[in-house]
Amino acid sequence: MPRLQLSDASEIEFPMTKVAEFHSAWDAAEKDGDVERVLDTLADELAPSSPSTSPSSRPPLIAELRQTLRHLRPVSKEVFAERIKQCLDCEHSRQLAVGDDNRRRIVQCGQCGCVMNIKARMLSGACPLGKFK
Check whether residue 41 and residue 60 sit in a common domain.
yes
Check whether residue 64 and residue 103 sit in a common domain.
no
Check whether residue 59 and residue 96 sit in a common domain.
no
Check whether residue 67 and residue 96 sit in a common domain.
no
Tell me the per-residue pLDDT of 106-127, one tens digit each, with 9 for 90 and over.
899 999 888 898 889 888 888 9
| Predicted local confidence at residue 91, as pLDDT | 94
Cβ distance 42 to 69 under 8 Å? yes
| Predicted local confidence at residue 50, as pLDDT | 53
What is the spatial distance between Cα 101 and Cα 103, in angstroms, rounded to a whole number?
Answer: 5
Range of the domain at 9: 3-71
What is the spatial distance between Cα 19 and Cα 25, in angstroms, rounded to a whole number?
Answer: 10
Return all residues near 8 (Cβ < 8 A) that are at least 6 apart. Answer: none
Tell me the per-residue pLDDT of 56-109, one tens digit each, with 9 for 90 and over.
677 788 888 888 888 788 888 899 999 999 999 999 999 988 777 777 788 999
Tell me the per-residue pLDDT of 15-46, one tens digit each, with 9 for 90 and over.
777 888 888 888 888 888 888 888 888 888 88
How many domains does the chain fold into? 2
